[in-house]
Amino acid sequence: MYVAVKGGERAIAASHAVLAEARRGDPSVPVLGVDQIEQQLGHAVDRVMAEGALYDRTLAALAIKQAQGDLQEAAFLLRAYRTTLPRFCASLPIDTARMTIARRISATYKDLPGGQILGPTYDYTHRLLDPGLLDDAPVPPAPRAAEPADPAMPRVAALLDQEGLIRPESGDRDAEPPDLTRDPLTFPAARALRLQNLARGDEGFVLAMGYSTQRGYGGAHPFAGEVRYGTVAVEIAPEELGFAIEIGDIAVTECQMVNQFAGSRTEKPQFTRGYGLAFGHSERKAMGMALVDRALMSRELGQDVTAPAQDEEFVLSHSDNVEASGFVQHLKLPHYVDFQSELELIRRLRAEAEERVAEPNREAAE
């Protein structure tokens, strides 16, 4: 029985046992190592870290294994773990201008200081299934550039800044940013809060929202000013030390989207920016986020808010897949008490409607 009147505890234990068997699959196939997931399913690990809001490749790989590759479930596992961790301190803002670049492209300039670096990308692969991967075919070594990448690799937005053509970043740089995980989301939301929300947001949702702005829902005219991926140092500045120390590196993808903007009642014509940042290598997420970030600036730019992607309550309230997945799936829980109330009500309303139909007829007959 679905809701066992007795024996709920036994049913749950049995369900967990069946789940463990299903997760392991055929025991004659070698078990998947967490290190294999971490090394060979890197994009899955990146996505789970981003949506799980925790940078830890090993734990993300463990979550993927535990969730049988269900990445939303894995992100949830990571979040539930993260929420119990004590906080020692907040890191300083990372400086992506000082990124150790693995890939960097700009669609707005043919060439620019630091150059275009293609790096690892699926962009120009032909999407042909590779039977070679069915076997353990050896991977030939990749050619390496003779020279290391130019350490001075200015960000494209900074180039436009010099000319005064792009709207300066809004917001108070020195103000303590709000923290979505410490204070509940309230509206109107500051940009820092919106970006935090989008960074944790579901990749599919953010992608679709960004896409909608390109198709006319929000009237965006974006250029990929720059997409860069690489590692950046994370620093903390403990109060007792009085100076910053590096605690490690993280890999991030950053997108600076440059948008045409014809001006509004309050703003003169200029370029505007949209910003996206994701843990690991995740260009789709970073670009989608940059499009949505720009769309959500409509209110500040004096533009009419007409499209879904411009509507901050709509976007920010529905971006989190841990929330969305939970609430959609909670419909599996028993609701028979409420359903019973509805049954009684519908029966009553129908009976009353039938009476109303019958009564005029009776009156007519009398």
State which residue, 56 or 249, has the beta carbon closest to other proteins: 56
Q: How many residues bind other proteins (CB under 8 A)?
A: 50
Minimum distance from residue 267 beta carbon to other proteins (Å): 23
| β partners of residue 34 | none
Q: Should residue 171 be labelled a site residue for other proteins when binding is judged by CB under 8 A?
A: no
Residue 7 touches other proteins, criterion: CB under 8 A: yes
338 binds other proteins (CB under 8 A): yes
Residues 306-325 that bind other proteins (CB under 8 A): 313, 317, 322-323, 325
Which of the ranges 30-38, 78-86, 142-150, 242-250 carries the binding residues for other proteins, by CB under 8 A? 78-86
Asked if 18 interacts with other proteins (CB under 8 A), we say no
Q: In the range 172-201, which residues lie near other proteins by CB under 8 A?
A: 181-188
- To other proteins, the closest distance from the beta carbon of 120 in angstroms equals 32
Closer Cβ to other proteins, 112 or 190, answer by number: 190
Q: Which is nearer to other proteins, 104 or 200 (CB)?
A: 200
Does 152 participate in binding other proteins (rule CB under 8 A)?
no
Q: Determine contact, residues 43/281, Cβ cutoff 8 Å.
A: yes
For the sheet containing 272-279, what is the strand order? 100-105, 222-236, 245-259, 272-279
CB of 351 to other proteins, least distance (A): 11
Shortest Cβ 3–other proteins spacing (Å): 5
Among 60, 67, 76, 294, binds other proteins (CB under 8 A): 76
In the complex, the smallest distance separating the C-beta of residue 330 from other proteins, rounded to whole angstroms, is 3
Any contact of residue 345 with other proteins (CB under 8 A)? yes
Among 30, 138, 334, 360, which residue sits at the site for other proteins (rule: CB under 8 A)?
334
**Are the beta carbons of 104 and 228 closer than 8 angstroms?**
yes
The footprint of other proteins (CB under 8 A) covers 3-9, 11-12, 76, 79-80, 82-84, 86-87, 181-188, 313, 317, 322-323, 325-330, 333-338, 340-345, 348-349, 352
